[in-house]
Protein backbone atom coordinates (compact mmCIF):
# COMPACT_ATOMS: atom_id res chain seq x y z
CA UNK A 1 0.00 0.00 0.00
CA UNK A 2 2.83 2.40 0.87
CA UNK A 3 5.68 0.84 -1.10
CA UNK A 4 6.01 3.98 -3.22
CA UNK A 5 7.18 5.85 -0.11
CA UNK A 6 10.87 5.19 0.46
CA UNK A 7 12.57 5.81 3.79
CA UNK A 8 16.16 5.83 5.00
CA UNK A 9 17.10 5.90 8.68
CA UNK A 10 20.40 7.17 10.08
CA UNK A 11 21.34 6.41 13.69
CA UNK A 12 23.87 8.87 15.07
CA UNK A 13 25.96 8.33 18.19
CA UNK A 14 27.62 11.31 19.89
CA UNK A 15 29.62 11.63 23.11
CA UNK A 16 29.67 14.70 25.30
CA UNK A 17 32.97 16.57 25.66
CA UNK A 18 31.78 19.03 28.27
CA UNK A 19 29.38 19.55 31.15
CA UNK A 20 25.99 21.19 31.32
CA UNK A 21 22.21 20.77 31.08
CA UNK A 22 20.05 19.78 28.12
CA UNK A 23 16.26 19.35 27.92
CA UNK A 24 14.97 15.91 28.93
CA UNK A 25 13.45 15.53 25.46
CA UNK A 26 16.08 16.34 22.82
CA UNK A 27 14.06 16.33 19.59
CA UNK A 28 13.72 20.10 19.27
CA UNK A 29 17.39 20.69 20.18
CA UNK A 30 18.57 18.16 17.59
CA UNK A 31 16.28 19.53 14.91
CA UNK A 32 17.59 23.03 15.58
CA UNK A 33 21.23 21.94 15.36
CA UNK A 34 20.66 20.05 12.10
CA UNK A 35 18.72 22.93 10.62
CA UNK A 36 21.40 25.50 11.48
CA UNK A 37 24.11 23.31 9.95
CA UNK A 38 22.23 22.70 6.71
CA UNK A 39 21.17 26.32 6.45
CA UNK A 40 24.82 27.36 6.82
CA UNK A 41 25.75 24.95 4.02
CA UNK A 42 23.18 25.93 1.40
CA UNK A 43 21.41 29.22 2.17
CA UNK A 44 22.24 31.98 -0.33
CA UNK A 45 19.98 34.60 1.29
CA UNK A 46 20.18 34.15 5.08
CA UNK A 47 18.35 37.42 5.80
CA UNK A 48 15.30 36.36 3.75
CA UNK A 49 12.58 34.16 5.24
CA UNK A 50 12.12 30.89 3.38
CA UNK A 51 8.52 31.53 2.34
CA UNK A 52 9.61 34.85 0.79
CA UNK A 53 12.72 33.51 -0.95
CA UNK A 54 12.57 33.24 -4.74
CA UNK A 55 14.75 30.11 -4.77
CA UNK A 56 13.03 28.23 -1.93
CA UNK A 57 11.64 25.70 -4.42
CA UNK A 58 15.21 24.65 -5.20
CA UNK A 59 16.77 25.01 -1.74
CA UNK A 60 17.64 21.90 0.27
CA UNK A 61 17.13 23.72 3.57
CA UNK A 62 13.71 25.07 2.63
CA UNK A 63 12.55 21.78 1.14
CA UNK A 64 13.54 19.79 4.22
CA UNK A 65 12.93 22.25 7.05
CA UNK A 66 10.41 24.87 5.88
CA UNK A 67 8.19 22.90 3.48
CA UNK A 68 7.52 25.88 1.18
CA UNK A 69 4.85 25.88 -1.48
CA UNK A 70 3.67 22.29 -1.18
CA UNK A 71 0.11 21.97 -2.44
CA UNK A 72 -0.37 19.20 0.09
CA UNK A 73 0.28 21.52 3.02
CA UNK A 74 3.11 22.09 5.48
CA UNK A 75 4.82 18.79 6.20
CA UNK A 76 8.55 18.15 6.40
CA UNK A 77 10.13 14.98 4.95
CA UNK A 78 11.98 13.65 7.98
CA UNK A 79 11.41 12.72 11.60
CA UNK A 80 13.79 12.60 14.56
CA UNK A 81 13.56 9.95 17.24
CA UNK A 82 15.78 10.47 20.28
CA UNK A 83 16.87 7.16 21.82
CA UNK A 84 18.43 9.03 24.74
CA UNK A 85 15.63 10.28 26.97
CA UNK A 86 15.03 11.99 30.31
CA UNK A 87 18.66 12.94 30.83
CA UNK A 88 19.13 16.53 32.03
CA UNK A 89 22.71 16.80 33.32
CA UNK A 90 25.50 15.89 30.91
CA UNK A 91 29.13 15.06 31.68
CA UNK A 92 32.13 14.15 29.52
CA UNK A 93 31.81 10.73 27.79
CA UNK A 94 28.02 10.61 28.25
CA UNK A 95 26.48 9.11 25.10
CA UNK A 96 23.64 10.54 23.01
CA UNK A 97 21.90 8.39 20.40
CA UNK A 98 19.15 9.45 18.02
CA UNK A 99 17.71 8.48 14.65
CA UNK A 100 16.71 10.56 11.64
CA UNK A 101 14.33 8.96 9.16
CA UNK A 102 14.35 10.61 5.73
CA UNK A 103 11.09 10.25 3.81
CA UNK A 104 10.56 10.13 0.05
CA UNK A 105 12.60 12.70 -1.88
CA UNK A 106 14.53 13.66 1.26
CA UNK A 107 16.48 10.39 1.01
CA UNK A 108 18.23 11.92 -2.02
CA UNK A 109 19.72 14.49 0.36
CA UNK A 110 21.26 11.88 2.66
CA UNK A 111 24.78 13.19 1.95
CA UNK A 112 23.73 16.61 3.18
CA UNK A 113 22.35 15.15 6.41
CA UNK A 114 25.54 13.12 6.97
CA UNK A 115 27.58 16.31 6.49
CA UNK A 116 25.27 18.13 8.93
CA UNK A 117 25.74 15.43 11.56
CA UNK A 118 29.51 15.83 11.25
CA UNK A 119 29.15 19.63 11.43
CA UNK A 120 27.18 19.31 14.70
CA UNK A 121 30.57 18.75 16.36
CA UNK A 122 31.32 22.42 15.70
CA UNK A 123 28.14 23.63 17.38
CA UNK A 124 27.61 23.94 21.10
CA UNK A 125 24.48 22.07 22.19
CA UNK A 126 21.81 23.74 24.29
CA UNK A 127 22.02 26.93 26.31
CA UNK A 128 25.29 25.76 27.91
CA UNK A 129 26.84 25.20 24.43
CA UNK A 130 28.07 21.73 25.39
CA UNK A 131 30.57 20.33 22.85
CA UNK A 132 29.80 16.87 21.46
CA UNK A 133 31.86 14.54 19.29
CA UNK A 134 30.39 12.35 16.56
CA UNK A 135 31.34 8.71 17.17
CA UNK A 136 29.41 6.81 14.52
CA UNK A 137 26.55 6.82 12.01
CA UNK A 138 24.88 3.53 11.10
CA UNK A 139 21.83 2.24 9.28
CA UNK A 140 20.00 0.59 12.21
CA UNK A 141 17.99 -1.78 9.98
CA UNK A 142 20.94 -3.33 8.17
CA UNK A 143 23.49 -2.55 10.92
CA UNK A 144 25.88 -1.22 8.28
CA UNK A 145 28.36 1.58 8.84
CA UNK A 146 27.82 4.96 7.22
CA UNK A 147 30.47 6.99 9.07
CA UNK A 148 33.16 6.16 11.62
CA UNK A 149 36.43 7.88 12.59
CA UNK A 150 36.54 10.08 9.52
CA UNK A 151 35.68 7.36 6.99
CA UNK A 152 32.34 7.38 5.16
CA UNK A 153 30.45 4.54 3.44
CA UNK A 154 27.82 6.34 1.37
CA UNK A 155 27.17 3.16 -0.65
CA UNK A 156 25.43 1.80 2.46
CA UNK A 157 22.81 4.57 2.33
CA UNK A 158 20.04 2.60 0.65
CA UNK A 159 16.44 3.84 0.86
CA UNK A 160 13.84 1.11 1.34
CA UNK A 161 10.18 0.98 0.29
CA UNK A 162 7.72 1.33 3.17
CA UNK A 163 6.32 -2.20 3.14
CA UNK A 164 3.43 -2.60 5.60
CA UNK A 165 1.63 -5.92 5.43
CA UNK A 166 -1.90 -6.48 6.62
CA UNK A 167 -2.31 -8.90 9.52
CA UNK A 168 -5.23 -10.27 11.48
CA UNK A 169 -5.79 -8.48 14.77
CA UNK A 170 -8.61 -8.04 17.27
CA UNK A 171 -6.75 -6.15 19.98
CA UNK A 172 -3.86 -3.69 19.93
CA UNK A 173 -1.95 -1.61 22.47
CA UNK A 174 -0.54 1.68 21.15
CA UNK A 175 2.13 3.00 23.51
CA UNK A 176 3.61 6.46 22.89
CA UNK A 177 7.22 6.92 23.98
CA UNK A 178 7.37 10.57 22.94
CA UNK A 179 4.89 13.44 23.37
CA UNK A 180 1.95 13.38 20.97
CA UNK A 181 -0.21 16.24 19.74
CA UNK A 182 -3.38 15.28 17.87
CA UNK A 183 -5.71 18.17 17.19
CA UNK A 184 -9.40 17.86 16.32
CA UNK A 185 -11.05 21.11 15.20
CA UNK A 186 -7.85 22.82 16.48
CA UNK A 187 -8.37 21.39 19.95
CA UNK A 188 -5.62 19.28 21.53
CA UNK A 189 -6.94 15.83 22.41
CA UNK A 190 -6.32 14.87 26.04
CA UNK A 191 -7.04 11.25 25.16
CA UNK A 192 -6.76 9.55 21.77
CA UNK A 193 -9.72 7.61 20.44
CA UNK A 194 -9.17 5.17 17.60
CA UNK A 195 -11.03 7.29 15.03
CA UNK A 196 -8.86 10.34 15.81
CA UNK A 197 -5.70 8.22 15.58
CA UNK A 198 -6.66 6.76 12.20
CA UNK A 199 -7.75 10.11 10.79
CA UNK A 200 -4.51 11.77 11.89
CA UNK A 201 -2.40 8.94 10.46
CA UNK A 202 -4.20 8.88 7.11
CA UNK A 203 -3.92 12.64 6.67
CA UNK A 204 -0.23 12.74 7.56
CA UNK A 205 0.68 9.89 5.22
CA UNK A 206 -1.44 11.45 2.46
CA UNK A 207 0.44 14.75 2.84
CA UNK A 208 3.84 13.05 2.80
CA UNK A 209 2.95 10.96 -0.25
CA UNK A 210 1.59 14.00 -2.10
CA UNK A 211 4.50 16.28 -1.26
CA UNK A 212 7.51 13.94 -1.50
CA UNK A 213 6.63 11.14 -3.94
CA UNK A 214 5.13 11.01 -7.41
CA UNK A 215 1.93 9.35 -6.20
CA UNK A 216 -1.21 10.45 -4.41
CA UNK A 217 -3.08 8.21 -2.00
CA UNK A 218 -6.79 7.93 -2.68
CA UNK A 219 -8.60 7.05 0.54
CA UNK A 220 -12.30 6.35 0.99
CA UNK A 221 -12.08 8.36 4.20
CA UNK A 222 -15.77 8.19 5.05
CA UNK A 223 -15.80 4.39 4.87
CA UNK A 224 -12.47 4.10 6.70
CA UNK A 225 -13.54 6.33 9.58
CA UNK A 226 -16.88 4.59 9.77
CA UNK A 227 -15.11 1.27 10.30
CA UNK A 228 -12.69 2.88 12.78
CA UNK A 229 -15.63 4.16 14.84
CA UNK A 230 -16.55 0.53 15.58
CA UNK A 231 -13.22 -0.04 17.35
CA UNK A 232 -13.54 0.50 21.09
CA UNK A 233 -11.07 1.82 23.67
CA UNK A 234 -11.01 -0.79 26.44
CA UNK A 235 -8.15 0.57 28.58
CA UNK A 236 -6.02 3.71 28.55
CA UNK A 237 -3.71 5.91 30.57
CA UNK A 238 -2.69 9.45 29.57
CA UNK A 239 -0.87 12.35 31.19
CA UNK A 240 -0.33 15.93 30.13
CA UNK A 241 3.10 17.32 29.24
CA UNK A 242 3.96 21.02 29.22
CA UNK A 243 6.55 21.29 26.46
CA UNK A 244 8.29 24.38 25.10
CA UNK A 245 10.72 24.84 22.25
CA UNK A 246 12.61 27.82 20.94
CA UNK A 247 11.26 29.14 17.63
CA UNK A 248 13.81 30.91 15.43
CA UNK A 249 11.06 32.37 13.25
CA UNK A 250 9.14 33.76 16.24
CA UNK A 251 12.24 34.74 18.17
CA UNK A 252 11.16 33.17 21.44
CA UNK A 253 9.74 30.14 23.18
CA UNK A 254 6.75 28.37 21.71
CA UNK A 255 4.41 26.38 23.96
CA UNK A 256 3.59 22.90 22.66
CA UNK A 257 1.25 21.22 25.16
CA UNK A 258 1.09 17.49 24.55
CA UNK A 259 0.17 14.17 26.13
CA UNK A 260 1.87 10.81 26.49
CA UNK A 261 0.58 7.40 27.48
CA UNK A 262 -1.11 4.36 25.97
CA UNK A 263 -4.43 2.87 24.94
CA UNK A 264 -5.79 -0.59 24.17
CA UNK A 265 -8.22 -0.77 21.28
CA UNK A 266 -10.42 -3.77 20.46
CA UNK A 267 -12.47 -4.64 17.38
CA UNK A 268 -11.82 -5.50 13.75
CA UNK A 269 -8.34 -4.02 13.48
CA UNK A 270 -7.17 -6.02 10.47
CA UNK A 271 -7.85 -3.33 7.82
CA UNK A 272 -5.92 -0.77 9.86
CA UNK A 273 -2.74 -2.75 10.55
CA UNK A 274 -0.78 -1.41 7.51
CA UNK A 275 -1.60 2.16 8.53
CA UNK A 276 -0.57 1.55 12.14
CA UNK A 277 2.70 -0.01 10.98
CA UNK A 278 3.44 2.94 8.69
CA UNK A 279 2.81 5.30 11.58
CA UNK A 280 5.46 3.57 13.68
CA UNK A 281 8.00 4.75 11.11
CA UNK A 282 6.46 8.12 10.12
CA UNK A 283 4.96 9.17 13.51
CA UNK A 284 1.53 10.75 13.99
CA UNK A 285 0.14 14.17 14.88
CA UNK A 286 1.69 17.61 14.99
CA UNK A 287 5.43 18.33 15.42
CA UNK A 288 6.48 14.90 14.15
CA UNK A 289 9.67 16.43 12.73
CA UNK A 290 11.06 16.94 16.24
CA UNK A 291 10.04 13.43 17.19
CA UNK A 292 6.54 13.86 18.58
CA UNK A 293 4.03 11.11 17.95
CA UNK A 294 6.40 8.12 18.03
CA UNK A 295 4.72 4.92 19.21
CA UNK A 296 5.03 1.15 19.40
CA UNK A 297 2.33 -1.38 18.50
CA UNK A 298 1.62 -4.68 20.26
CA UNK A 299 -1.09 -6.97 18.85
CA UNK A 300 -3.29 -9.77 20.11
CA UNK A 301 -4.58 -11.99 17.31
* pLDDT tens by residue, 52-69: 888 888 888 888 888 654
pLDDT at position 79 over 70: yes
pLDDT at position 224 over 90: yes
The fraction of the chain above a pLDDT of 70, given in percent, is: 95
pLDDT at position 247 over 70: no
pLDDT at position 268 over 70: yes
pLDDT, residue 37, reads 95
What phi and psi values does residue 247 have, to the nearest 5 degrees?
A: -105, 115
- 267 or 65: whose pLDDT is higher? 267
Residues 6 or more apart whose CB falls under 8 angstroms from that of 225 comprise 195, 198, 199
* Confidence at 249, pLDDT banded by 50, 70, 90: low
Contact 159, 9 (CB under 8 A): no
- Report the chain's terminal Cα–Cα distance, integer Å: 22
* Confidence at 250, pLDDT banded by 50, 70, 90: low
Contact 3, 84 (CB under 8 A): no
* Confidence at 46, pLDDT banded by 50, 70, 90: confident
Range of lowest pLDDT (41-50, 98-107, 116-125, 235-244): 41-50
pLDDT at position 136 over 80: yes
* DSSP β-bridge partners for residue 82: 98
pLDDT at position 84 over 80: yes
pLDDT, residue 230, reads 97
pLDDT at position 242 over 70: yes
The fraction of the chain above a pLDDT of 90, given in percent, is: 78
Q: How far is CA 203 from CA 11, 95, 283, in A?
A: 27, 36, 12
* Confidence at 286, pLDDT banded by 50, 70, 90: very high
* Confidence at 202, pLDDT banded by 50, 70, 90: very high
Pick from 253, 81, 111, 286: nearest CA to 182: 286
pLDDT, residue 244, reads 75
The count of residues in the chain is: 301
pLDDT at position 116 over 70: yes
Domains (range + CATH), the chain: 6-161 (3.30.70.1890), 171-300 (3.30.70.1900)
What phi and psi values does residue 155 have, to the nearest 5 degrees?
A: -65, -20
Which strand (E) or helix (H) includes residue 127? none
Average pLDDT of the residues of the chain: 92
pLDDT, residue 72, reads 46
Average pLDDT over residues 173-179: 96
pLDDT at position 112 over 60: yes
Amino acid sequence: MFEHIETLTLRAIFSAKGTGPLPPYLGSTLRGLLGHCIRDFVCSYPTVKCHQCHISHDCAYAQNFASPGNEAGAVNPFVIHSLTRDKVQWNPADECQFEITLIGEASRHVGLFVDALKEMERKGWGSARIPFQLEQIVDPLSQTLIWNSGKVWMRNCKPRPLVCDQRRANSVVIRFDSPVRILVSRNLQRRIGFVDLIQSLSRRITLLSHAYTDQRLDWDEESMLGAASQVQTTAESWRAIDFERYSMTRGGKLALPAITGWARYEGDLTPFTPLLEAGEKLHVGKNATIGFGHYRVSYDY
